[in-house]
Structure 1
Amino acid sequence: MRTRRLGVSALPIVQCAVAAGLAWYVAHNLLRHPTPFFAPIAAVICLGVSLGQRRVRRMVELVVGVSLGVLVGDLLISQIGTGSWQLVLVVALAMAVAVFADGGALFVAQAASSAVLVATLLPPGNSGGLDRCVDALVGGAVGFLVAAVLPADPVGPVRRETRAVLDELATVLLGIAEALRNRDVDAAGRALRRARQGQPLVDAVRASLKSGREVTAIAPLYRPRRRMLGDYAEVAERADYALRNARVLARRAYTALGDGEQATDALPDAMTELATAVGKLSSELGVDGDRSRARGPVIDAVRGSDVLSGRRTDGLTPSEQMMAAQARSIAMDLLQGSGMPRDEARAALRGDGEPDRSDSPAAEA
């Protein structure tokens, strides 16, 4: 796991190292600043935002915050010297100016920390003047340049996070199937708790998508990946809907088993097949992004079940009907996540080429 984590972070590490060296070279060799300490610092801070999970706004806030803190610290310390009360004054003024200028928490915190560095490292009477503020801006500019020339992969993190959501969905479905098959209330409760805890995974996908889109905006090399990010956005959205439906399904299974209701054996078998189809969609995302190959297992899971396909309606309890409707809605979400339009997906599940009018919007809520 540690090796894999290092591999994922390898490019951001290289970016930070290259940017630090380049920022020092520009500030020291080209601008003739004797010790441009803040140039590499700003470059590393700019690029090191969560090692690849970057936001353009956050990068700007960090760089401008560093520059502002350095400027305020230099102007004051050069006049009043260093000490405890001087540090109080410098930090307070830097934070006040930052709050007045923007108010972002990251921006304010970075301005304060940079002012602390200046107030504690700059000897009394020795002013860096405007040079160190310029160094910080140079470092930030170099950081943006390196991010554009040596960009991180905008798709890789999105693919990993999307697969994590789908894998979680498959695990929840298997848990529900196990609970129904064994008439196990505790297992249904575990599946329900797991389904309720899946939202952070969806949020992580959306965060990766936003970061990936910003990478494609500043890096010409990866602009063709915008379409692929759009595909993953569709998968993530449908996976979110499917996970929500799985929560409703788990809740109904937990309640039915707790009330002693009997469930037909066809339901757990259908859930297992549906979980296998989810795994197929997840694996296809890891190969070449061709989602269409995952449609077959989803359609087969529904058509192969009399309960999910609607061929069997007699004798089903209200709970069984609701669980079947939720499972069918999950299948719809998966097909739409594979890139199939809604009407085609409904017709495919029906199996006769006609839109399925029985699949009500309420069942997919």
Structure 2
Amino acid sequence: MARVRRWWGRALGSEGHERSTVLLIAKGTLAATIAWVISYHLLRAESPAFAPFSAVLIMQVTVYQSLLQSSRYVGAVVAGVAVQAALGFLVGPEVLTFALVAVVALTIGRWPALGSQGSQVATAAFFAFSTYVSATSALDKITQLGQIILLVLIGCGIGVLVNVTVLPPLRYRSAEHGIRTLAHALCDLVSDIYPALRERGLDDERTGRWRVRAEQTGELVTQARTGLRMARESLHYNPRRLFRRGSAHTHFEGYAEVLEALERTLRQVAALTRSLDKWSADEDRYRYGAFLASYADFLESLSRITRVFADLDEDRLGDQTAQLHQLADEAQNFRRRLAGQAERDDLPLTDPGRPYGVLVIEAARLMEEFQYTCDVLQHHAGR
């Protein structure tokens, strides 16, 4: 019960998965009830469940998906009923007819244009066959088959109408969430690396864990791209965007560029962890300890930037970009100190058996990506 109360508290208290779930259930219930009343009480349909079933089936997360999936679903149902009607009237209500209907319907269902609704071709054909064999006359058969299509159209229309008019989902925050998640992962990883460099506490187990964590961020990138796609998609045909005209929430070019920059940064950090993982020359850590301390200072400055990314909020983007600009300048200074330290220590930068050359290059590349990301956010904040 405590978990249930917390779940409902989150649903009522703030936007998120819980509130979206409650809203989707409520809208689905409303659409199904309206469709049932129309099909059963007003039309007196023989198979009234087709309407509420259709209304719930196409109640997608976004308005765009509702329209797309409803058009595909209607096309699949019409195709299935048409196959049954053609073969039923030509061959008759025989077992062979059912087999032919199944073969043709399943074949049409493989058509890529129908997408995930392809399986509904066979489903509609089978229901149509059941209706066809139970009808007593040719006129009754035609009427029942046509009624199936009518009920599906009613259900889809009601589902789309409810989704458009009752708090249509506007998922612009999905883009922010994906970037925040990536930034959190990057911040956590960098924040684990720089203290170990400062303390010269590098060992195979620790560097191996860093390498694995860096290589496992691909799934987070995929999730972030999905969130960005949903944010863009939720604006299509959504009437709520009219009340946000001129808002930065209706533009996602900046988020897309930030996401790409963070993805490149994660690849650079992964390359850094691979270099550290291959390094086993223990004595070098003490001989060039000043360089490692400078590198730790540089990575710590980058971690402060990632903390801002992890708290990205478009409503506060102006203040955050000013903070990022200051932090980027500080990180540039630490990178220059790092390069100067490498020169003073006369590091073996060209020795392929030691990581110093790669580390210096990776520092420059990381700084470029962070600077670019900060510049992108500053550019879009100034729009």
**Alignment correspondent of 1:146:** 162
**Alignment correspondent of 1:33:** 45
Deviations 1:80-103 (A, max 9, x none): 5586x6654333221223445x55
Please tell me whether residue 198 in structure 1 is matched to residue 208 in structure 2: no
> In 1, distance between residues paired with 2:269 and 2:70?
38
Q: Which moved more, 1:289-298 or 1:130-139?
A: 289-298
For residue 283 of structure 1, report the CA deviation from its aligned partner. Answer: 0.9
**Alignment correspondent of 1:168:** 185
User: Cα 1:241–1:308, aligned 2, differ >3 Å: closer, same or farther?
Assistant: farther
> In 2, distance between residues paired with 1:186 and 1:337?
37
Q: Note the 1:40-55 alignment, pairs <5 A.
A: 40-48=52-60, 51=61, 55=65
Name which one, 1 or 2, has greater alpha-carbon Rg: 2
**Alignment correspondent of 1:222:** 241
**Alignment correspondent of 1:110:** 120
User: Cα 1:322–1:151, aligned 2, differ >3 Å: closer, same or farther?
Assistant: same
Q: What do you get for the CA RMSD once the two structures are aligned? A: 3.4
**Alignment correspondent of 1:243:** 266
For residue 139 of structure 1, report the CA deviation from its aligned partner. Answer: 2.1
Residue 124 of structure 1: which of 133, 148, 161 is its match? 133
Please tell me whether residue 265 in structure 1 is matched to residue 275 in structure 2: no
Cα pair 2:63 2:164 within 8 Å, conserved:
no
> In 1, distance between residues paired with 2:316 and 2:21?
22
Deviations 1:202-229 (A, max 9, x none): 2222223223323212112125365343
Q: Which moved more, 1:201-210 or 1:159-168?
A: 201-210
Q: Which moved more, 1:18-27 or 1:71-80?
A: 71-80
**Alignment correspondent of 2:351:** none
For residue 274 of structure 1, report the CA deviation from its aligned partner. Answer: 1.4
Deviations 1:176-212 (A, max 9, x none): 3355342133222222222222222222222232233
**Alignment correspondent of 1:69:** 80
For structure 2, the 5+ residue unaligned runs are: 11-16, 136-140, 286-290, 348-355
Give me the TM-score of the superposition, normalised by structure 1. Answer: 0.76
Cα pair 2:131 2:145 within 8 Å, conserved:
no
For residue 332 of structure 1, report the CA deviation from its aligned partner. Answer: 1.8
> In 1, distance between residues paired with 2:280 and 2:92?
73
SS at match of 2:159: helix
SS at match of 2:292: coil
> In 2, distance between residues paired with 1:272 and 1:246?
13
Cα pair 2:190 2:300 within 8 Å, conserved:
yes
**Alignment correspondent of 2:328:** 299
> In 1, distance between residues paired with 2:326 and 2:276?
24
> In 1, distance between residues paired with 2:123 and 2:217?
36
Residue 320 of structure 1: which of 334, 359, 367 is its match? 359
> In 1, distance between residues paired with 2:72 and 2:340?
59
Residue 159 of structure 1: which of 152, 165, 176 is its match? 176
Q: What code does the residue aligned with 1:136 have?
A: V
For residue 303 of structure 1, report the CA deviation from its aligned partner. Answer: 4.1
SS at match of 1:216: coil
SS at match of 2:253: helix
Q: What code does the residue aligned with 1:267 have?
A: Y
Deviations 1:278-319 (A, max 9, x none): 121221327645552441463254145255675544134313
For residue 165 of structure 1, report the CA deviation from its aligned partner. Answer: 1.5
**Alignment correspondent of 2:288:** none
User: Cα 1:136–1:67, aligned 2, differ >3 Å: closer, same or farther?
Assistant: farther
User: Among the aligned pairs, what percent are the same residue?
Assistant: 21
